[in-house]
Structure 1
Amino acid sequence: MNFAIVGCGFIAKKHAQAIENIQGAKLVAVCDKVSKAMEYYVDTYEAKAFTEFSEMLQREDIDIVCICTPSGLHAPLAEEAARARKHIILEKPIAMTLEETDRIIYACKENSVKLAVVHPNRFRPVVQELRGILNRGLLGTISHANATVNWNRNQEYYDQALWRGTKQYDGGVLMNQAIHNLDLLLWFMGQPEQIFSMEATRLRKIEAEDVSTGVIRFESGALGTVEASTTVYPRNFEESITIFGEKGTVKIGGANALYFECLTIEGMSEEEAEEILNKVKADPWGKPGHQCIIEDMIEAVNENREPAVTGEDGRRALELVLAFYESAAGNEPIYMKPVKVCM
């Protein structure tokens, strides 16, 4: 299948490299308002460069468009790509508002195109192992869970582009960094019912938050805590998810949530636990997550099924972030309803 990329910043290179590593996939076009930003893709992949998105979409040989622009630009570009009957791989977050998100999902359904949201952490070996443990019910009833992202993004990071750290185009630590962790928390724990959050902008000169804490009550009755920041000195400190059940305690952690830091389950022998731990340690990153997302999209198109990470999945993660923002702004609990996409 032939791919196009719109938005030729840092994350676009991960898409291009992933496409190159997939047999039968080819990057044929790129689009950016800044011509110089496209030179790498023209020179390396022989992609055709476009400064106008509508012009690029006229190419009939493009099957899938990867949208890698600032988040605040996702909605109009995704809608336009859907109307051009191109399947869409959309970087996180899916959009900045639920109204924009619903427009994207509707446009894709209306034009019979597939939509995948880039939450690649789901494909990490340790995450897949934990998902399997939960699917098998090995932890029993879950009492509570913790999700933590304590990272470093210094002022130079935010000063790279005017849109970074803005509420309109980027958001803060929850929307930009921790949303992957929140996606995993929802994938593991199910629908939130009630949340309460506090946030602050402590160290970075940005419009959005650089530190956030919150608590969640899930529909199952289980509780959750969330802690996220970009203020940690001097480098990324921890990304983790810990789940406490009546029959086990499991924590995936490290600076990037790549390893089991605890794997204690009733009835699981030391030998079995050691085998799982060693399997993850042998290849902690696994196949690059962007490659998994793109390969899955190709299969979804060929098999006429939904992608592994759908627009609705992206909406759930966004809805949780926005509920955290609303709670912090009003200093009050937020009661959440099951996801219902407005058409």
Structure 2
Amino acid sequence: MLKKVKLGIIGLGYIGQIHFKHSLALPNAEVIAVADISAKALSKARKTGIKHIYTDYESLLQRPDIDAVVIGLPTHLHLQCAEKAAEAHKHIFLEKPIARNVPEARKILTAARKYNVKLMVGYPLRFNDDFKQARKEIQAGFLGDVESAHATYISSGPFFHRAEGYSPVPVPEWWFDESLTGGGVLIDLGSHIINLLRWYFGEVTNIKGYFGHRFNLSFEDSAICIVKFNSGTTAIMNVGWYSQSYTLTLNLLGTVRSATIEHKPGSPILTAIQLLSTGNSKFYKPHMQELQHFLSCIIKDIPPSPSGEDGLKDLEVIEKAYKNQIVLQ
């Protein structure tokens, strides 16, 4: 049995840097190599002691000493990279959304099955302690029957610079090309909420969505969806890219009692203390836990969750919402 999983990190952008940092800290992971097209990102990785640095991920995939890869590339590159990783017999942790559309997602699943590699899609909300506790309470009947759920996830999205240390950096241009992303805020933030609610309430039987275009772009920057689940629960999902104030809340309204969960960044001072003392912050703890789960599944040879099938089902729901648009005059 493996004691450590030897990793290759593909993509060192915003989310890739988070996974890279966590991979270095986890005791059952050993980062063998990284790949990115950014000389600056590769230079930073080299300073951590990583010896094998690549500007193309195909060279990384050829290494026989790598067991698994963490893919944090732009969405339009997921299919090609995941297929090549599976062909190279590497287990795959793939950032959400799994792909731009359902056909691409199905091809990724086909490749993973063909080459018998594990495929996990990154949904950190499932590893947040408060959201996990809410699921336990739902399953135990503590809330009674959950008649309705109201989920809100609002951020600045691609309309505000991302943080890199203490210096803001521009958001990559691909964020503004719908052909590369597969959609707007619904496929970005909405995929998190859909995956979480499916985990709570089962499969979606119907969904309708209203889409806003505050910034007059071809893709939606806000979406309000009504979602029906086979458990009988109805959810209202509100996601948007229009505020510099981060908001992520979930209200569960049951026949016995209700519950409210809020996920928010800590204060800058508290976050700085956490980073200095532990090398991590509470806000990003779920990202570390999801990666730990992926590694454990490889070591124990068990299926990871959320799976590639979960990623596919989330995209199927999103595509249905795009088709079932509500028009308000």
- In the other structure, the counterpart of 2:166 is none
- For the residue of structure 2 that corresponds to 1:160, the secondary structure is coil
> 1:1-343 alignment to 2 at 5 Å?
1-153=5-157, 155-157=159-161, 160-170=171-181, 171-203=183-215, 206-232=217-243, 234-236=244-246, 238-253=247-262, 255=264, 285=282, 288-328=285-325
Shift of 1:165: 3.0
Which deviates the most, 94-103 or 206-215? Answer: 206-215
Match of 1:137, as an amino acid? G
Deviation at 1:37? 2.9
Let me know the Cα RMSD of the aligned residues.
2.2
**CA positional deviation for 1:255:** 4.0
Q: TM-score, normalised by structure 1?
A: 0.82
Describe the shift of the 1:255–1:10 C-alpha distance in structure 2 as closer, same or farther (beyond 3 A). Answer: same
Q: Which amino acid aligns with 1:293?
A: E
Deviation (angstroms), 1:317: 2.0
SS class of match (1:45): coil
Post-superposition shift, 1:60?
Answer: 0.4
Structure 1 residue 319: deviation in Å? 2.0
Find the aligned partners of 2:224 and 2:94 in 1 and give their Cα distance. Answer: 27
Matching residue of 2:273:
none
**One-letter amino acid matched to 1:145:** A
Shift in Å at residue 121 of structure 1? 1.3
The residue type paired with residue 164 of structure 1 is W
Q: What are the ranges of 5 or more consecutive residues in structure 2 without an aligned counterpart?
A: 163-169, 267-280
How far residue 218 of structure 1 moved from its aligned partner, in angstroms, is 1.4
For the 8 Å contact 1:67–1:88, the answer to whether it is kept is yes
Q: Secondary structure at the match of 2:157?
A: coil
- Is residue 102–residue 312 contact of structure 2 (8 Å, CA) maintained in 1? yes
Q: Which piece of structure 1 moves more, 134-143 or 90-99? A: 134-143
Partner of 1:277: none
| Matched position secondary structure for 1:202 | coil
Distance between the aligned counterparts of 1:245 and 1:155, measured in 2?
36
| 2:137 counterpart SS class | helix
* Distance (Å, rounded) in 2 between the aligned partners of 1:189 and 1:256: 27
Task: Write the distance in 1 (CA, Å) between the matches of 2:198 and 2:265.
Answer: 18
Code of the residue aligned with 1:169 in structure 2: it is L
The CA distance in 2 between the partners of 1:226 and 1:95, in whole Å, is 21
Q: 1:285-327, CA deviations, whole angstroms, 9 ceiling, x for partnerless residues?
A: 3872222122212221122110121111122222222222222
**Deviations 1:171-230 (CA, angstroms, capped at 9, x unpaired):** 311112232222111111211111111102113x64321111111121122211111111
- CA distance in structure 1 between the partners assigned to 2:46 and 2:294 by the alignment: 24
The 1:300/1:239 distance shift into structure 2, 3 A limit, reads same
Mapped partners of 2:214, 2:310: distance in 1? 31
Amino acid of the structure 2 residue aligned with 1:235: S
Distance 1:309 1:54, change over 3 A: same
Contact 2:138–2:146 (8 Å) recurs in 1: no
What's the secondary structure of 2:297's corresponding residue?
helix
- The SS at the match of 1:177 is helix
| CA shift digits 1:27-71 (9 cap, x unpaired) | 111112333331111221324111222221110001111111101
Contact residue 27 and residue 47 of structure 1 kept, 8 A: no
- Distance of aligned partners of 1:254 and 1:6 in 2 relative to their CA distance in 1, 3 Å threshold: closer
The runs of 5 or more residues in structure 1 that have no matched partner are 258-283, 333-343
